[in-house]
Amino acid sequence: MTDNKPAKTAGPRAAQTRETRNRILDAALREFSEKGFAGASVRTISATAGVNHGLIKYHFENKDKLWKAAVDFLFERLGDQMIEPDGDRHKPRAERVRLWIHRYVRYCAEHPEHARIMIQESIRDSDRLKWATVNHIGPGHAVLLRSLPVTLDMERFPRIDIPTLIYMINAATQAPFTLAAEIRQLYGTQVHQHDFVERYADGIFDLFFRPYLNATEQ
């Protein structure tokens, strides 16, 4: 007769391990996004995550592998948030695009560390950026390069190629959350509040998408 006791305890133990690992990665993303790779402290990450410093070494071996694991986690989270719900797939294209924009703006609002980390590495043109480009950014852009011509009537953009358009939209979408402190000091606006996020997402849709969707898709 097989003893099932280990199987009963494996689930909670595995869940606790995942929770601890995710807490470390969240703390790492904040530290890397604020201080860059060179300035980031693994000891600060461990203190923020509430774990022993040795546990980070056990899970990730070194700072470079921790950075890569954190960026893997970042893009995995982005992918999960951007999945289109099954119930949305039969809606008019304009509405599907609007909902897509809302999902992405909410992600940018919740995780400003994403843009900040990429800015940190782009400034340095680092090997870490090359790794992220190959493993995450490039494949993500490939999806957009295929979908944008379908989504938009590109004949209305005679002077803009699609890669340029992607960065124009990204810059507009990420800016208020990357510069949240500046906007708060200038205007007293709390950009992470729900009402601001939703209004901002609608503004992005109205500015970049609504006028350029094919008439038959609205």
Only one residue has tokens 């480009």, namely 133
pLDDT for position 211: 81
Judge if 112 and 213 occupy the same domain: yes
19-65 pLDDT, tens digit each: 999 999 999 999 999 999 999 999 999 999 999 999 999 889 999 99
- Say if residue 89 is in the same domain as residue 33: no
User: Residue 145 is part of a domain; what is its CATH number?
Assistant: 1.10.357.10
Domain containing 120 equals 82-217
For the chain, the domain total comes to 2
Whether residue 140 sits in one domain with residue 108: yes
**Whether residues 23 and 97 fall in one domain:** no
pLDDT in tens, 87-135: 998 998 889 999 999 999 999 999 999 999 999 999 999 999 999 999 9
Residue ending a domain, among 63, 91, 113, is 63
Which of 63, 93, 116 lies at the terminal end of a domain, its last residue?
Answer: 63
| Beta carbons of 23 and 51 less than 8 angstroms apart | yes
Residue 106 sits in the same domain as residue 210: yes
Same structural domain, 96 and 196? yes
Residues 143-182: b if buried by 16+ CB within 10 A, e if exposed: ebeeebeebbeeeeeeeeebeebeeebbeebbbbbbebee
pLDDT exceeds cutoff 70 at 215: no
Tell me the whole-structure pTM to 2 decimals: 0.87
- Whether the predicted pLDDT of 149 surpasses 70: yes
pLDDT tens across 191-202, in order?
999 999 999 999
CATH (domain of 9): 1.10.10.60
> Residue 10: is its pLDDT beyond 80?
no
Do both 134 and 206 map to the same domain?
A: yes
